[in-house]
Structure 1
Amino acid sequence: MVVAIDGGNKLVQKAQSGPNGPWAKAWAPIAAGTYALMATGLTRDGRVAVVAQPSAGPQLVFITEDANQVGPVEKWNAPVNIGAVPGATGYQSMSMARDTDGLIEIFVVTSVGQIWWIRQNPPKLVDKRVTITPPGTDKPITVTVQEQAPPDKPWSDWQQIPGGLVAISARRQGDGRIVLFGINSTLNLYRCQQSVARTTNAGEWTPWVMMNTPTTGTFIGMAPVLGPSGGLNFFGLTSNGQVVHTRQQPAGSESWTPWATPGFSRTGINTLASGIQGDNDIVLVASDHSLIHQFNAQNSARTQNWTGWRDFSQSDARVEFKLDYNADGRLMLFSHAAAVPAGGGLWAKRQTALDSTEWDIDWEQLADGGIRRFSVVRDLTPPS
């Protein structure tokens, strides 16, 4: 599923009709009103979730697919107001991730660079009296059992995480804890992570660690992804247009390998995306300053063996990429004409087979224009 903000600032979606299926012809609304910014993720039970900022102000709303596919707007539940960050007038970045309990946590960067965080509260346990007939008897008895019930307050209060950024990306690592990556106003790269499985206050986040070195220089892009060994891999796009790589070792730790390169690009790269294909290998896609598109596939996570950058397509304008995989494991690449003021077009193409280094020649047009922002999410509960 693609979730987007269109040229009229409407929040819309377009999805495959079923696993590996064709795309819907028309975009469908998610909620009424107009929106400035959004991020997507999945609920605990696999439904698509959206956090969005309405155009009217700093209040944020949370929207989910209706579990019974009969919601008020095209099978979506009505937006739930989760409040505004104290003192915020707007936001410049937001990200969503599921924590170790499968609950959603949302991270935003305000227009002045502050970092704030809100999380879903876990279900509560309540006593319930039930009547049962034990085996071997015909006399019923009444017992008290505990069962889960919705929390009294669905969301926590907004909490500020120390530091200042202009862009943030939240990723769930192998043990369920969340790691944050961020770029600040001077293009330095930082990371921090939850120190305990159920993090409930800002003091339980580790201090920010600067990741860039004199050799890497500063960063203009981030493409973190969870690798096949359960460790996070971070691919960064440096200010001089090169892709560099570091990874957790061991998985889930605060120890990261020295910076390395998965391959040098003779023409500097201006956009980068990472993804996992169905056999768990990492694939990178990039577009360079000559508007040539390249991919780089990992052959072995153990030896960090890569195909090297290979040209496979081109465009006539600068684009933004995102990657995700189909139900059959083949990757799908989404390309958005990012520099069009009124919102650019959106196209997609697939790998020809699982683990293939071939891609379809043709691009499938999902929108001929009018897409301002977009996100791709794997809908685990598509309509039957």
Structure 2
Amino acid sequence: MSVEDATPAEFEGSVVTEPSYFRIFLTALTPAGALGYKDQTVENGGFDSGFTALTDTSYQPEHLNASVTQNGYVSVLAVDAATGDLTYIRETQTEDADNRFAPPQNLGKPDGVSGVLDTVLINGLTGRANVFLSSSEADNTIWWKFQNPNTVVEKTFKVVPPGTETPIEVTVPVEVPPAQIWSDWQQLPGALVSLTATQNADGRIFLAGINADGVPYLNLQSNDRPFLPENWSGWQDISEGLTGFEQIVCGLDHDALVHIFARIGDKIYMKVQQQVSSSGFGGWVLFASFASPVHTMDVSISPQGGLYLVAQLSYGANCPVYAKYQTGTGSDDWSDPAVIGHVYQNCNLILQPNADTSLSLFSLDPDTGKAAYLRQQSLGHWSATWTELGAGYAAIATTQDITPNPS
């Protein structure tokens, strides 16, 4: 299904029905490129035992993202294995539809780009999907595609004013779905090999990443014309004398301030937005230091509204996973790092909130393909054992499913 065939139904406003549940949705790719999913069977509970196929198409196992539409429906982004085109899949909004998911939308790929290094799927200023990719070509170009905002047209209606019987014509501006659902691919300046993004407090997107030399950069959509590449604020080199950046993650805390975390060897650094919705940040501060290098990290909102960061160290067959979380309203109020669990290998980690705001920590062992999760019991304490979700996976992604569709 091409983007031109996408139904405008998802652009007709927000869901007004109260959600009947809030479940975690987990999607996964196998090494052969099969794309499927499993849900929590109940809020805050366990997951389906089966793995339900999303489509019959094979996808590149290295690239997988999950998010929600502006109406709270699940959406997934993957890369077609045969063509290299990006594919967007979302739940249908029709309650009596034969299939839970609408036909995949082929987003294509930018001209001159034969492969991708990294992809991001995030909701933007209008609440609609934004897609970013970094090219695997030698120039590592950065590309952007988004669901177009609604347009405003004038429509004339006949109305009968109160106290009269004679209708009159009234012309008013009306918001209608865009003629073209998705924008064309647009190139952003710069070159990056990894990408990450978060929403600013006002809904604009902060895009960050690291280039081939390990230098981190940050960019923010503009206020006045946010949907033009030339009107982003411009890339800032945020290295500030540090070198060897390996990973960046971002989050928005309970004070609506964006926090950026950087992983370099055995240390994690943090920088904090100086004012709500501004483009300015304070300098890097040492957030945590460990006895061995950090393999990966992730950040999420915690049950008490602050940020919660997990980090996995890179040694032995029983690698510790540390957690550190905000304990107060200030950016300096954080707990000490503490071990919350162990993993057998250098896993990929994902934090995802449950319906009751407690967190689940998902891990994927790239060597065995085993996926599992750990449940948070209280702010600083987690269950003692991992619950297995299956094996034979090459990539996983999670999001929340908050729509009233009970299927």
After TM superposition, the score normalised by the length of structure 1 is 0.92
- 2:389 counterpart residue number: 366
- 2:321 counterpart residue number: 293
- 1:13 counterpart residue number: 37
Report the secondary structure of 2:400's partner residue: coil
Matches of 2:93 and 2:352, distance apart in 1: 23
Range that drifts further, 125-134 or 187-196? 125-134
Report the secondary structure of 1:225's partner residue: strand
Matches of 1:82 and 1:241, distance apart in 2: 39
Report the secondary structure of 1:304's partner residue: coil
Letter in 1 for 2:385: D
Could you tell me how far 1:122 is from its partner in structure 2?
1.2
Unaligned 5+ runs, structure 2 = 1-24
C-alpha change, 1:197 and 1:103, in structure 2 (3 Å) is: farther
- 2:304 counterpart residue number: 279
After the TM superposition, which residues 104-253 of structure 1 pair with which residues of structure 2 at under 5 Å, given as runs? 104-112=129-137, 113-196=140-223, 198-214=225-241, 216-238=242-264, 240-253=265-278
- Do residues 313 (structure 1) and 338 (structure 2) align? no
Report the secondary structure of 1:351's partner residue: strand
- 1:41 counterpart residue number: 67
The alignment covers a number of residue pairs equal to: 375
Letter in 2 for 1:249: Q
- 1:268 counterpart residue number: 293
Could you tell me how far 1:305 is from its partner in structure 2?
2.0
Structure 1 residues 211-267: Cα deviation after superposition (integer angstroms, max 9, x where no partner):
1233x32211122111111111011111x2211111111122221111112232122
Contact kept in structure 2, 1:275 and 1:283, CA below 8 Å: yes
Matches of 2:229 and 2:152, distance apart in 1: 25
Structure 1 residues 5-30: Cα deviation after superposition (integer angstroms, max 9, x where no partner):
12331121111124323311112122
Could you tell me how far 1:358 is from its partner in structure 2?
0.9
Range that drifts further, 98-107 or 127-136? 127-136
Please provide the CA RMSD for this pair. Answer: 1.8
Report the secondary structure of 1:314's partner residue: strand
Matches of 1:221 and 1:25, distance apart in 2: 33
C-alpha change, 1:106 and 1:80, in structure 2 (3 Å) is: same
Unaligned 5+ runs, structure 1 = none
Matches of 2:85 and 2:244, distance apart in 1: 33
Matches of 1:206 and 1:66, distance apart in 2: 35
Could you tell me how far 1:200 is from its partner in structure 2?
2.1
Letter in 2 for 1:362: T
Q: Sequence identity, in percent?
A: 27
Matches of 1:126 and 1:164, distance apart in 2: 39
C-alpha change, 1:304 and 1:348, in structure 2 (3 Å) is: same
- Do residues 258 (structure 1) and 283 (structure 2) align? yes
